[in-house]
Amino acid sequence: MITGTAAGVPYVALPPRTGTRLVLVWHLLGQPGTPQDMAATLPLPDVDAWRVYPALPLRDPSPDFLLDGYAPLVAEAADAVPDLVTALRGDLGCAGPVDVVGGSAGGHVALLTAVRGEVPVRRVAVVNPAVTAESVVEASVAAGFLPAYDWTPAARAAAAPLDVLAVADRLTAPLLLVRGEQEYPAFRPVQQRLCDAVPAAKLVDVAGLAHMLVTRTDEVGAEVGAWLTA
């Protein structure tokens, strides 16, 4: 496992056998919640590419969960991708289109990267991804992580750029969405709507998998690995 920093973003990387392709894999905010843990959980050993696990720019979510925490975190991570890819290509020698992978908030970053199109994306694989900021807030309230949330005009404005459903027609890369049987109820409908809106989408439900990626990881890794080697 290689550690480094590219364009100001810390990362860990797993080298390929012979390939030069680049796969970006963003971690969750829960478990696994660091690049090192995500690399250990989802190493994707059959994918002959540089597998790079960038760190999400963690923020203090107080006093406002969305305005001070989640929205700037996801936006900053997505904004960093073009410079990150350029730097990684120079540092690691990776070339060609990029595959993007992520779980939960990391999945949100992967989806935004794909719909923005600033970096050519070959394939997308997300596990229990966040798709809208509204569903993240709803899930956080339902799980007791957050008290009832006050949707101010500022919060609505911050949520709008994170709405992947609103720009799903821009997601032209093939999409794999791996969803746990015990996924957050607030996430399931928007995940389904996203797959329905993307012609080249495949939805895989994994029995026994909750939102956090702590069980059935071999099965999840096999699904993602097969998708990225197609």
d(CA 129, CA 105): 6
Task: Render pLDDT for 83-103 as a digit per residue (tens, 0 to 9).
Answer: 999 999 999 999 888 999 999
Give pLDDT tens digits for 93-136.
998 889 999 999 999 999 999 999 999 999 999 999 999 999 99
Delineate the domains of the chain, giving CATH numbers in brackets.
2-228 (3.40.50.1820)
* Residue 108: closest CA among 82, 127, 81: 127
Distance of CA 41 to the CA centre of its chain: 14
Give the confidence band of 3 by pLDDT, cuts at 50, 70, 90.
very high
pLDDT value of residue 102? 98
- What integer pLDDT is reported at residue 39 of this predicted model? 98
Quickly state the pLDDT bin for 207 (edges 50, 70, 90). Answer: very high
Pairing of strands 201-210, 22-26: unpaired
Give yes or no for residue 143 having a pLDDT over 90.
yes
Q: Reply yes or no on whether the pLDDT at 62 is more than 90.
A: no
Taking 90 as the threshold, does the pLDDT of residue 61 lie above it?
Answer: no
Count of C-beta atoms within a 10 Å radius of residue 34: 17
CA atoms of 195 and 168, how far apart (whole Å) = 9
The whole-model pTM stands at 0.98
Residue 11 has pLDDT above 90, yes or no: yes
CA–CA separation, 107 vs 83, rounded Å?
A: 19
pLDDT at 60 over 90: no
| Confidence at residue 59, expressed as pLDDT on a 0 to 100 scale | 86
Average pLDDT over residues 39-58: 97
The predicted-structure confidence for 155-188, as pLDDT tens digits, reads as follows 999 999 999 999 999 999 999 999 999 999 999 9
Q: CA–CA distance from 101 to each of 28, 127, 160, 181 (Å)? A: 11, 8, 22, 20
| Mean pLDDT within 35-58 | 97
Q: Within a 10 A sphere around the Cβ of 52, how many other Cβ atoms?
A: 28
Whole-number pLDDT of residue 216? 97
Q: What pLDDT is stored for residue 171 in this prediction?
A: 97
